[in-house]
Amino acid sequence: MRQKDQTPSHDLNHGNPSQAQALPMQQYPIDDVGSSRAFTPANSSHPPTSVRSLLSEDTPPSSHRGPLSQSPVLTSSAAAAVLASLDRGAEPNTESHLLSPEPTQGSDENEGDGFQLYGATSLLHDQSSRTFLSTGQREETQECVPSKDAIRDRLVSYAALRRQEEVALYSSPSITSKIDFDGVPMDTALHLLDLHWNRQHLSYLLTYRPAIMDSLIHNGPYVNKLLLNAIYFQSSLYSDRTSLLRQDPHDPQTMGMAFYERFKSLLVDHIDKPTIPTVVALLTCGACLVPRGKQSAGWVFCGIAYRMMTDLGCHLDIEPTSQTGKGFKLTAIDVEMRKRIYWAAYVGDKLQSLFLGRPPAIPETAGGVSEELLDTYEEMEEWRPYVDPEARPFDSSAPAYRGRPCYAISTFRCLLQLCRVISRIIDAFYTTDSTERSKSPESPNTSLVQKRQDIRERLRQFKDGIPAWLQFEPGVDPTPPPHQITPHALYWASVILTELPFTNRGRSTLAHDSNSFQSSAQDESRKKCIEAALHIWKLVEAYKKTFTLRRAQYGISYATYCAVLAILEHTDQNCDEYIECIRFFWQALLEFQRGCNYGLKRPLRLLKSLMSRIERVTKNINMDATVVTKSFQADMASLFGTGQTGDAWNGPWVAQDGLVADNTLFGIADDSLLGAYM
């Protein structure tokens, strides 16, 4: 059995467990970083019986400070002054504002956050300042800026205090009654927020929890109603409170749609005023629309968010300072939040590109943002699955789970590194340009082999570089939290995508090479695809046994789909193991579809058609059997109908030239590519 390290003490951003970096909680004095403000009364007494009455028609926010309220914001002393005087660096008191979540507004009140970026070629570029001409070099200033260690300590302590403040919400009606949840009852709002922090937040670290919750409680600048409704909408997919959150009790696809309608109504007032919470709202909503089956809306919302990020300068590596531009300052919280937004957007862009089979929107050279996240509070925080005390779960068969360290920061860094490789895979084999290059006589097919070899090496380096505390071998190691399984599943999916173009029988991209080399290359790639598919099987099986697939992130469902297609295409199905694998994947995909991945409808119908063509599969797998519950049968009836055989599958799922075109659905299979018509 492989020996694994125990709970690590390590520098998260350099991956060196030997350099211990303690997470300070109590040993430092306190400073006013919470920017505590007077509470603003809000509409909070709404006792609706269904989701249609959850939302009020409050006026959208119009101010920069306190966007959840129209009333003035009053400054008061903080309940607990955080982090004032660290002994590292001897910062003067004038720098205590570096952690304050109060941005300075710019001169143009109509321009969102009051800060926009204009590069050196722009007519709007301020020639008197060189601050944003380069992300690699910074001007030396006379300011005494706190050291990186000091900022890290302050951010971690700030996060710890904010988490304590969250706990008090559940026992302090006097506080929660003054929070504007946009008309949603307190219990429902906190339930949806808890779900978000427990699941989707950990997938990307897009939503910076301490800043958002502090702003929600104290009417601060890092949350607005648009973001609140994006979180509500996303979390509703994971909620078991179906009677409350479905617009139509009999239609699972209406879950949380009232929040989406509210989001769209609020968006009108935010679309031309870029702000940080608006960017986060668009990315959050866009990310959950794609697996929900609203791919176009999700793609467009994320695209708008990418443009807003650039407009606000989130793609630049800017240090905390009191004056980074005319009338504008970035605090340590600002910088931390911007880094998380940029890299979460980068990761989400690559995963959406796989899911939709489209070129990434954020190129590798788009920004120069540091990958180092200084707030490491969530790294060693204990994680347990969220259990709703007020609802019966869809599937109560999951065993009790013993809490484990979250490792949120190091897990996200692993996912980020993998997405860099995924970007290369897409560019090399899954774009129109790569297809044209493979046909050009000036670009021999050996260059594709070289690219494959380069990507293989990068994947190997990624796997070897996974920290010991994140390694997971199903059947040997205890099952880690869901967000820690996703990088492993996507790694093996990346192996399949790398080898796939070289496996197509008789239509290999190596057309100009000798038959013997062509055959051996295909066999090697085919074996790697099958090996990867079997690894995904074991990962998803461990996930299902521990958590069920009800709330699985769509990266897991994508890997599952890649795996089952690889098994169907590259095995003869005469092996009982392969049949059992196909049966498991089919049931898993149905469970994904029933849970948070309504967007699997078309891929599942195409997959069913393909499976129906394989005699041994049809003899051993009953694809029309819907076990579990009556509600599950009803959901499947809406997917396949009753007694229908599904769509015809009239062709191979790999393009004739051996490469997969970029107009694919779910990354690797589209009805136009396959010859199937809906």
Residue 325: beta bridge partners? 328
Q: Please give the pLDDT value at position 582.
A: 84
Task: Find residue 330's DSSP bridge partners.
Answer: 321
Q: Is the pLDDT of residue 42 over 70?
A: no
Residue 523 has a pLDDT of 86
Closest CA relative to residue 592, chosen from 216, 252, 334: 252
DSSP state for residue 619 in the 8-state scheme: H
- What is the per-residue pLDDT for 630? 47
Residues contacting residue 451 through CB under 8 Å, at least 6 positions apart: 424, 428, 429
* Tokens standing for residue 416: 């980020």
- Local structure of 272: helix, strand or coil: coil
Place of tokens 């301490």: 210
> Is the predicted pLDDT of residue 351 greater than 70, yes or no?
yes
**Residue finishing a domain among 554, 575, 601:** 601
Instruction: State residue 74's pLDDT score.
Output: 31
> Which residues, other chains included, contact 660 with Cβ-Cβ below 8 Å and sequence gap of 6+?
357, 429, 430, 500, 501, 654, 668, 673
Where a domain ends, among 571, 601, 631? 601
Residue 617 belongs to a domain: no
Residues 375 and 411 in one domain: no
83-97, 369-383, 651-665 — most confident range: 369-383
User: How high is the pLDDT of residue 518?
Assistant: 67
Dump pLDDT digits (tens) for 594-615: 777 766 777 777 777 777 767 6
Burial class (CB in 10 A: 0-12, 13-18, 19+), 172: exposed
Is residue 421 located within the same domain as residue 282?
no
Going by the DSSP 8-state scheme, the letter that residue 256 receives in this structure is T
464 and 330 both lie in a single domain = no
Average confidence (pLDDT) over 29-55:
40
Q: Ranked by mean pLDDT, which of 133-137, 312-316, 342-346 comes out on top? A: 342-346
DSSP letter string over 406-451?
A: --HHHHHHHHHHHHHHHHHHHHHHSSHHHHHHHH-TTS-THHHHHH
| Lowest-pLDDT range of 131-140, 168-177, 180-189, 487-496 | 131-140
Of the candidates 367, 370, 379, 365, the one whose C-alpha atom is nearest the C-alpha of residue 407 is 379
461 and 359 fall within a common domain: no
Tell me the percentage of the chain whose pLDDT exceeds 70.
62
User: Residue 318's pLDDT is what?
Assistant: 80
In the DSSP assignment, the letter for residue 400 is P
- Does 280 fall in a domain? yes
Calculate mean pLDDT across residues 286-295.
Answer: 89
Contacts of 634 (CB under 8 A, 6+ apart): 250
Q: Is the pLDDT of residue 257 over 70?
A: yes
Confidence of residue 88 (pLDDT cuts 50, 70, 90): very low
| pLDDT number for residue 132 | 44
- Coil/strand/helix, residue 16: strand
Residue 670 lies in a domain: no
Model confidence, pTM: 0.77
Polymer length in residues for the chain: 678
Domain that holds residue 266: 51-119+145-383
222 shares a domain with 288: yes
**Residues 6+ positions from 162 with CB-CB distance below 8 Å:** 34, 209, 210, 213, 214
Among 352, 328, 330, CA closest to 419: 352
Supply the pLDDT for residue 265.
97
In a domain, 413, yes or no: yes
The per-residue pLDDT for 398 is: 60
Q: What number is the average pLDDT over the span 420-446?
A: 75
Cα atoms in the 13 Å half-sphere on the side-chain side of 202:
31
pLDDT of residue 451 exceeding 70 = yes
CA distance 168 to 166: 5
With bands split at pLDDT 50, 70 and 90, how would you rate the model's confidence at 460? very high
pLDDT for 251 equals: 77
Query: How confident is the model over 390-415, as a mean pLDDT?
Result: 83
* Straight-line distance from the first to the last Cα atom of the chain, in angstroms, rounded to the nearest whole number: 49
**DSSP assignment of 284-303, as one string?**
HHHHHHTTTT-HHHHHHHHH
- Mean of the pLDDT values across residues 357-382? 91
Is the pLDDT score of 479 beyond 80? yes
* Domain match, 445 and 358 both: no
Q: Of 561, 576, 601, which residue is a domain's last?
A: 601
What does the pLDDT average to over 643-651? Answer: 41
Range in 163-177, 302-316, 462-476 the model is least confident about:
163-177
pLDDT band at 127 (very low <50, low <70, confident <90, very high): low
**Is residue 364 located within the same domain as residue 510?**
no
Residues 6+ apart with CB under 8 A from 262: 55, 182, 229
Supply the pLDDT for residue 396.
57
Q: Clarify whether residues 232 and 341 are in a common domain.
A: yes
Higher pLDDT, 607 or 474: 474
Same domain, 593 and 450: yes
Ranking 292-301, 438-447, 546-555, 616-625 by mean pLDDT, the lowest is 438-447
Is a pLDDT exceeding 70 seen at residue 505? no
In sequence order, the 6+-apart residues with CB closer than 8 A to the CB of 61 are: 67, 68, 69, 70, 224, 225, 269
Examine the pLDDT at 27 and tell me if it is beyond 70: no
Is residue 671 a part of any domain in this protein? no
What are the angstrom distances between the C-alpha of 62 and each of 41, 179, 184, 215, 225?
17, 17, 20, 16, 11
Does a structural domain hold residue 497?
A: yes
Tell me the backbone φ, ψ of residue 255, rounded to 5 degrees. -60, 120
Give the side-chain half-sphere CA count within 13 A for 678.
12
pLDDT, tens digit (0-9, with 9 covering 90-100), for 434-444: 666 655 555 55
What are the contacts of 426-431 at 24+ separation with CB within 8 A? 426/350, 426/353, 426/354, 426/359, 426/360, 428/452, 428/455, 429/497, 429/498, 429/500, 429/501, 429/659, 429/660, 430/357, 430/497, 430/659, 430/660, 430/661, 430/662, 430/664, 431/359, 431/662
Residue 81 has a pLDDT of 36
Domain for residue 7, yes or no? no
Q: Which of 150-159, 187-196, 299-308, 640-649 bottoms out in mean pLDDT, i.e. has the lowest?
A: 640-649
Q: Do 422 and 473 lie in a common domain?
A: yes
Select the more confidently predicted residue: 644 or 314.
Answer: 314
Q: Which of 180, 187, 222, 213 is nearest to 39 (CA)?
A: 180
| pLDDT value, residue 578 | 82
Same domain as 366, residue 414: no
Q: What is the pLDDT of residues 233-252, one digit of tens each?
A: 999 988 988 878 887 777 77
How many domains is the chain built from?
Answer: 2
Q: What is the pLDDT of residue 291?
A: 84
Question: 122 pLDDT exceeds 50?
Answer: yes
User: Is pLDDT larger for residue 298 or for residue 663?
Assistant: 298
DSSP 8-state class, residue 467:
-
Residue 40 lies in a domain: no
- One domain, residues 586 and 463: yes
